[in-house]
Structure 1
Amino acid sequence: MEKHLLVTVSDEFQTSQSLRFVYNFFNNRQDLRLTLFYVVPRKPDWRLDPIDLETNPEAAVHIEHDKAVHGIPAMAKAQEWLYSMGFAKDQVAVKFSQGKLGTVKEIVKESEEGLYDAAVLGRRGLTWFEEMVADSVSHRIMWESLSFPIWICRNPERGRKNVLVCVDGSDECMRVADHVGFMLRHEPDHAITLLHVCADDRCIDANQVFGRAQAEIKANGVPEDRISTKVLTSANPARSILAEAHEGKYAAVAIGRTSHKPSTLGHIFATTSLKILRGIDRAALWLCK
C-alpha cells in the first residue's frame, strides 16, 4: 500500500535532514509518495491573522517575493536531490502555502486536509514544536486537534535501522504501534522493539501492554519474528528511552502524546515527549496522538 508523506521544505540544511531520513529509512521507495510543502513565513508587520490579501497588497508583494527568492529555489533543490537519488517525478509533488495562518497552523491545516500518513520536519522541528505551546491558540491545537503523526528528524545517521516503540497501555501508544506497523509492513530490514519503562514504585502489566501493541503491529502484516519487547525500570523515562535509542542505534523512536490537556505550561515542558524531542540525536522522533 502506498505511503504518502508531507515533507516540509525550508532552508537547505533543515530540508536535507528530513529528505535524508526518508531516503535512508525506506528501502521500498517505490511505495512512497512525497509532497514537498513550503510555507511563506508570515512577517510581523503584516499584522493580520489571517491575512486578507485582497485588502493588504503589501503582504501579497512580500509573499510573492519570498516565494520567488527563497521558496522556489529551495523546492527546486529538494526535487533535484530526490530525482538524483532515484525517485520518479510522479512520486514527488510540490505545494506552496501563502502563510496566512502562520507556519504552524498552515502545516496543521495541510496535514489534516491532505490525509497524509505523516508530516516530516527537519531539525527546525524543535522550534516548531515549542512554537505550538507558546500561546494559548497553539496550545489548544497541540493538545486537542492534531490528528496526524509528526516525524521530527534530528541529524539522522546513515546506517541506523529499526524503530523503538514506547508503550504504556494508553490509546495513544496503541495508535503509535498501528502507525509503526503500517509504515514498516513492507520494510523487512527494520525490526520493532516495544519498550515499556516501569517506574520504581508502580508498574502496569507489561505483558498485557505488549500484547495489545503487538496485535496492532501484526494486524498491519508485520510478522511476529520482527517484533521484540523490553522492560526497563527507571524514575526518569525520558532519559532511559534516550539511552536505549542511543545504545541500540535505532533509526526512530515512536511515542504517543497524551490527549489530556496539561494544567500549566510548566507541565507541558515536563512531558516525556518534549524531553525526548530535546534530547534525541542521530535519529527521528515519531509522535502520534
Structure 2
Amino acid sequence: MKKKVLVAVDDSRHSENALRYAAGLHGTVHEMNHVLFHVEPTISQYLLDEARTKPSANAELQKLMRNSHDAARTMLDRYKALMVSLGVPEDNVQPMSLPRKFGVGKDILEYGTALVYDAIVVGRRGISGLTEVFMGSVSTNIVDNSQLIPVWLVDGKGPSNAVMVAVDGSESSLRAVDHLAFMLGGNSEISITFFHVAPRLGDFCPIDFNQKDTSNLEAVIQQGGKACIDRFFAHALKKLKDAGIEERQVRVDVRDGGFRVGKSVLEAYRKGGFGTLVVGRRGMGKQFFTGSVSRFLVNQFSDGALWVVP
C-alpha cells in the first residue's frame, strides 16, 4: 500500500534536515510519496485594507503576492531537486505552496488532516527562521494538536535501520507499533528494539515509602506490570509479523522502573545508536509515557527522528 507523507518546509536548515530524513527512508519505506508543503508569509493587514480602496495599493499587494509565491516555488523546486538527487523518484515528490490562513502550525495540520496523510514530517526546531522560542513553538503546536496524524520531528542525522520503540503497554503504545508496522512493513533490513521501563510502587503513588515494608506491594506491582507488558508484546509482535517483519528483527529491552522515564529512554536511544525513536503521545494514566514524558522527549530529543503517534 502506498504511503504519503507531508514534509513541512521553509528556507531553513531545520527543514532541510527533515527533507533529508524523509529522502533517506526511500529504501526503507516501500512506496512512499512526499508532498513538500510550504505556508507562504502573511500579507500586511494594512496593505489588505488599503487595497480595497486604492488602486496603487492593490497593485503593490498583487506584486508582493506574486513575489512571495515565486520565491516559494523556487525554494520548493530546489528541495525537490535535492530529494531526487538523494534517490527519490521525481514522480514521488510533489511541491505545494499555499498562503497563510490561520497560522503556520494550524495550516499544516488542516491540510494534512483534510487529505489524510500518513505522517507529517517537520524539523524539530520548527519551520520558521524567526526566534528560537517561536521556532520551537511551531513543532510543539503541531505535536500537541495533531489528533489523527503521527508527527515525525527531525533533528540532525538521517535515518538508520535501527529503530527504537518506547512502550508502556498502553493503547497509545500499541497505536505507535501499528504505525511503525504500516510504514516499515516488509523490510527485512531493519531492526526494532522495544524499550520498556518496568513500574515500581513509587510510579503509582507519591507517598514516601522509604520507612515502611512495602515488599508485598512491590511484588504485586511487578507481577501485574509484567503480565500487562507480556500481553502487549504478544500483540505487538503479531502486528509486526502480519506486516512482514520477522521475529528475528525484534528485541526487547526492559529496565527497572524510576521517576525519570524520559531520561532513561533518551539514554538508551543514544547509547544504542538508533536513528528513529517511536513513542505514543499519551500513556496509561498518570504513570509511564504521559504527556509530560512525551513533551520531555520532544524538547530534549536530538540526532535522528522522533515519531510521536497520537
Q: TM-score range by the shorter chain?
A: 0.7 to 0.9
Using the TM superposition, give the Cα deviation of residue 100 of structure 1 relative to its aligned residue in structure 2, in angstroms: 0.6
Question: Equivalent residue for 1:173?
Answer: 173
For 2:266, the aligned partner's letter is: L
What is the match of residue 89 of structure 1? 90
State the SS of the aligned residue for 2:275: strand
What is the one-letter code of the residue matched to 1:22?
A: A
2:104 corresponds in structure 1 to 103
CA–CA distance in structure 1, aligned partners of residues 99 and 263 of structure 2 = 39
The 3 A distance-change label for structure 1 pair 261 and 101 is farther
Deviation at 1:258, TM superposition (A): 1.9
Q: State the partner residue of 1:271.
A: 292
- Using the TM superposition, give the Cα deviation of residue 180 of structure 1 relative to its aligned residue in structure 2, in angstroms: 0.5
Residues in 1 aligned to 2:106 and 2:5: alpha-carbon distance in whole angstroms: 18
User: 8 Å contact 2:6–2:36 — kept in the other structure?
Assistant: yes
Which residue of 2 is the match for residue 211 of structure 1?
Answer: 234
In 2, the alpha carbon distance for the partners of 1:131 and 1:19 equals: 17
Structure 1: gaps of 5 or more residues: 263-268
Q: Is the 8 A contact 1:191 1:226 kept in 2?
A: yes
* C-alpha distance in 2 between matches for 1:46 and 1:171: 45
How much does 1:108 deviate? 0.6
State the SS of the aligned residue for 1:7.
Answer: strand
Q: Distance in 1 between matches of 2:303 and 2:110?
A: 29
Match of 1:222 in 2: 245
**In the alignment, does 2:133 pair up with 1:112?**
no
* Partner of residue 65, structure 1: 67
Listed one character per residue, the Cα deviations across residues 220-252 of structure 1 (whole Å, up to 9, x for unaligned) are 222211111111123211100000110111111
* Same amino acid, percent of matched pairs: 24
Equivalent residue number for residue 37 of structure 1 = 37
For structure 2, list consecutive stretches of 5 or more residues without a partner in the other structure. 128-133, 202-220
CA distance in 1, matches of 2:298, 2:90: 33
Deviation at 1:86, TM superposition (A): 2.6
- Is contact 1:242-1:280 (8 Å) kept? yes
TM-score, normalising length: structure 1: 0.81
Return the letter of the residue paired with 1:249: G
Structure 1 Cα separation of the partners of residues 66 and 284 of structure 2: 40
Give the deviation of 1:271 after TM superposition: 0.9
Matched with 1:240 is 264
What amino acid is aligned across from residue 99 of structure 1 in structure 2? Answer: R
Q: 2:63 and 2:157 mapped to 1: Cα distance?
A: 37
Larger Rg: 2
Cα distance change on mapping 1:101 and 1:221 into 2, 3 Å? same
Partner of 2:254: 231
C-alpha RMSD over aligned residues: 3.2
Asked if residue 121 in structure 1 is aligned to residue 144 in structure 2, the reply is no
Report the CA distance shift for 1:231/1:23 in structure 2 as closer, same or farther (over 3 A). same
* Aligned-partner SS, 1:147: coil
Q: Distance in 1 between matches of 2:300 and 2:139?
A: 18
Q: Give per-residue Cα distances to partners, 1:110-134, cap 9 Å, x unaligned.
A: 1111211111112334956634777
Q: Is the 8 A contact 1:42 1:103 kept in 2?
A: no
Over 3 Å counting, the alpha-carbon distance change for 1:220 and 1:270 in structure 2 is closer
- Distance in structure 1 (CA, Å) of the matches to 2:186 and 2:245: 8
**Is the contact between residue 15 and residue 78 of structure 1 (CA under 8 Å) also seen in structure 2?**
no
Letter in 2 for 1:130: S
Q: Which moved more, 1:245-254 or 1:10-19?
A: 10-19
Deviation at 1:173, TM superposition (A): 0.9
Distance (Å, rounded) in 2 between the aligned partners of 1:125 and 1:207: 37
8 Å Cα contact 1:172/1:257 also seen in 2: yes
Q: How many residues align?
A: 270
Assess if the C-alpha contact under 8 Å between 1:151 and 1:286 holds in 2. Answer: yes
